Amino acid sequence: MGKSKLKGKDLRKIGYKSNNAISIAIDLFSKHYKHISKNEKLDILIKIRENPENYASDEVLSKLAHEFMEKVEKEDFTIYKLSPKPKPFTVFGKKFIDSNTIHQMEMAMQLPVAIKGALMPDAHVGYGLPIGGVLATENELIPYGVGLDIGCRMSLSIYDLPPNYLKKNAHAVKMALKEQTHFGIKTMPTNKAEHEVLERVEFNETELLRKLHGKAAKQLGTSGSGNHFVEFGELILHDNNTLQIQPGQYIGILAHSGSRGLGATIAQYYTKLAMDSCRLPKGIQNLAWLSLDQAEGQEYWNAMNLAGDYAKACHDVIHQKLSKALNIKPLMIIENHHNFAWKEKQKDSSQLIVHRKGATPAKPGELGIIPGSMTAPGYLVSGLGMEESLNSASHGAGRRLSRKKTRESITGSTLKKTLKSAGVTLIDGSLDEAPTAYKNIEEVIHFQQDIIRVEGIFQPRIVRMDKA
C-alpha cells in the first residue's frame, strides 16, 4: 500500500506545477483510487492533464480536471480614451487661478462623459477634479467629482440678539464652543448624540453601510479637521434682502463640516469600484465613473445622499447643542452642500448630473453661504441662476498657499497679532489655516456679480477649529 502512495515529487515529474492541483490530486487518489498501483494512478493523472475536458463531468475527477481547463476570464472593465480637446467651460476670476488648476479642469473636460463645466474664482488644484470645479455628465456619477468629504456644507443660524451680545457673553460663548463642539478623531463626545438619520433604512441596504453605522453614530454631531470650523460672529443683513427678515445686525453661528468617516469611506470604496470598471489614462484615473444604469451606480447615489443627509444631521446637532447651552433660539437657519452631485434640469429640458466639488449651488433665489477665513468676512448670498456657471458659485475664498507653504510663511506670534487686530478670538486652530493662506474673499465675490446677489455679511468673532 505504501508503495502506491503518491507524493508531490511524483506529480511534478509528470508536469503538475500547481500546488493546488497537486494537493487536489493527492487527496482524490488517496480516497478513491487507493487500491491501484502508483503507475496506474500516474497514467490517469497524465491523461487528466493532457485532456482535462474528457474528465470535466466525472463525478470524482472533475475538480482536478478543471484545474487544467483553460480559464476564460471575462473582462469586466472598459478602457476609455480622452477626447483630443477639452469641451469648452467658463472660468470665473481667471486672474486668481493658477495654470495647474486650469489644466486639471481641461483634463476633466476631456472625459468622454463630460458635457458641461465651469471653474469658480476660488478654484485650486484638488484630487481628480479641482476644488471649485463644476462638471456635468448625462447619466454618470464620478465619486471623485464629489470628493472624499461627501456633503461638506455650510450652515448659519441667525439670532435676534443685541449687537453687544458676544462681548457681554464672551466667556459663556467660549465655554459652549469648548464643551459642545468636537473636531477630528482625537476627542469624541462622551454622550452619543441622537438623530433620526441613524434610523434610515439605507444603513441596512449594503454591507458597507451596515459596517459604517457604528462609526456614523460615534461621530454624529462632530466636525472634521483641516479647514472645518464652528464660529460665532456678527451678521449684517442688507436692505431689501430676500430672507424676509428686517435688515440690520444679528448674531450668527456659522459651521463648516461634512460627513466625517462615513462619507470618506463611501467615497474611497466607490472610487475603487469605478476605477476597476472604468480604466482611464494615467493622471486622470481618479475621475472614473459609475453609470446610474449600473447597480453600483445606484448604490453610490443612495450612499452619497445618505452621507449628505448625515452631514446635515451633524450640523443640526452642533447648532442645537450650542443654542441649548446658551439658551438662545434662532430666527432662521440657512445651509448648503458644496461637495455633492445633483440631478438638475437644464433650460433645454434635459437632465444632467451636476458635480460640485467645492462649489455652492446658486439657482435663482437659492440661499447659500460663502465663507472667507478665520478673520475675513463670509457672505450670505442668493443665486441668480447663471447658465454658464451651471447655477454654481464659489464655496469660499479658496487657498492661495498650500498648508506647507502657509506654515513656512507665518509664525504663531504673527497669527496672534493678525487675530487681535481683526478682533477675533481663536480656540485651538493651526498655522495651516492662517488668513494669509487664502485669496481675498472680496475680490472672489466681485468676480461673481452675475452669479450671486449678496444678502448679508458675516464677520467672525469667536472661532473654534481643530488643534494642530
pLDDT at 138: 95
Report yes or no on 359 lying in a domain.
Answer: yes
CA distance linking residue 104 with residue 122, whole number of Å: 14
**What DSSP assignment string belongs to 331-388?**
SEEEEEESEEEEEEE-TTS-EEEEEEESEEE--TT-EEEE---SSSPEEEEEE---GG
- If asked whether residues 348 and 402 sit together in one domain, one would say yes
The reply to whether 170 and 310 lie within a common domain is: yes
- Percent helix, strand, coil in the chain, to 5, is 40, 25, 35
What pLDDT is recorded for position 426? Answer: 97
The answer as to whether 327 is a domain residue is: yes
Distance of alpha carbon 62 from alpha carbon 42, whole angstroms:
16
Helix (H) or strand (E) holding 455: strand 452-465
Enclosing domain of residue 98: 90-465
**Mean pLDDT on 234-240:** 96
**Contact in structure between 145 and 129 (CB atoms under 8 Å):** yes
Residues in the chain: 468
pLDDT tens, position by position, 158-210: 999 999 999 999 999 999 999 999 998 877 887 888 999 999 999 999 999 99
Please give the average per-residue pLDDT across 99-124, as a whole number: 96
What is the phi-psi region of residue 365: left when phi exceeds 0, alpha when psi lies from -120 to 50, beta otherwise? left
Same domain, 241 and 100: yes
pLDDT of residue 2: 59
As a whole number, mean pLDDT of residues 435-454 equals: 96
Identify whether 441 is part of a domain: yes
- Domain annotation covers residue 231: yes
Q: Are residues 343 and 430 in the same domain?
A: yes
Select from 68, 99, 121 the last residue of a domain.
Answer: 68
In the prediction, which pLDDT does 128 show? 83
DSSP letter for 227, please.
T
Please tell me whether residues 414 and 444 are part of one structural domain. Answer: yes
The confidence score (pLDDT) of residue 172 equals 98
Distance spanning both ends of the chain, measured CA to CA: 73
Which tens digit of pLDDT belongs to each residue from 373-426?
999 999 999 999 999 999 999 999 999 998 999 999 999 999 999 999 999 999
Tell me, yes or no, whether 81 lies in a domain.
no
Count structural domains, the chain. Answer: 2
197 and 50 share one domain: no
Q: In 12-162, at which residue ranges do the beta strands (DSSP E only) sit?
A: 78-79, 90-91, 114-124, 131-137, 140-141, 153-159
Number of H helices and E strands in the chain, helices first, is 14, 19
Q: Of 103, 131, 151, whose CA–CA distance to 357 is shortest?
A: 131
- Split at pLDDT 50, 70, 90, the class of 282 is confident
CA-to-CA separations, 387 to 162, 247, 331, 351, in angstroms, rounded = 40, 30, 32, 14
CATH number of the domain at 334, please: 3.90.1860.10
Residue 71, pLDDT score:
57
Give me the residues paired with residue 385 across strands: none
State which H helix or E strand residue 215 sits in: helix 207-219
Cα–Cα distance measured from residue 310 to residue 216, given in angstroms and rounded to the nearest whole number: 8
Which residues lie across from 234 on neighbouring strands?
251, 459
User: Which pLDDT score, from 0 to 100, does residue 4 have?
Assistant: 79
What's the confidence (pLDDT) of residue 3?
72
Q: 147 with 200, same domain?
A: yes
Query: Could you say which DSSP state residue 183 is in?
Result: B
Among 398, 467, 380, smallest CA distance to 430 is for: 467
Q: Are strands 153-159 and 229-237 parallel, antiparallel or unpaired?
A: unpaired
Alpha carbon distance 238, 247 (integer Å):
5
For position 72, what pLDDT does the model report? 46
Residue 467: which pLDDT band, with cuts at 50, 70 and 90?
A: confident
Which of the four pLDDT bands, split at 50, 70 and 90, describes residue 247?
very high
What DSSP element (H or E) covers 66?
helix 62-68
Residues 112 and 187 in one domain: yes
Residue 332 maps to a domain: yes
Q: Within a domain: residue 456?
A: yes
25 falls within a domain? yes
Mean pLDDT of 420-448: 95
Of 68, 98, 113, which closes a domain? 68
252-287 as b/e: b if 16+ CB within 10 A: bbbbbbbbbebbbbbbebbbebbbebbebeeebebb
Query: What's residue 433's pLDDT?
Result: 93
Q: Are residues 17 and 160 in the same domain?
A: no
Show Cβ contacts of residue 30 under 8 Å, excluding neighbours closer than 6 positions: 5, 6
Q: Which residue has the higher pLDDT, 442 or 2?
A: 442
Is the pLDDT at 152 greater than 70, yes or no? yes
Summarised one tens digit per residue, pLDDT across range 68-105 is 886 544 557 788 889 999 999 999 999 889 999 999 99
Same domain, 34 and 182: no
Are 185 and 43 part of one and the same domain?
no
Residues 34 and 145 in one domain: no
For residues 295-300, give the mean pLDDT: 96
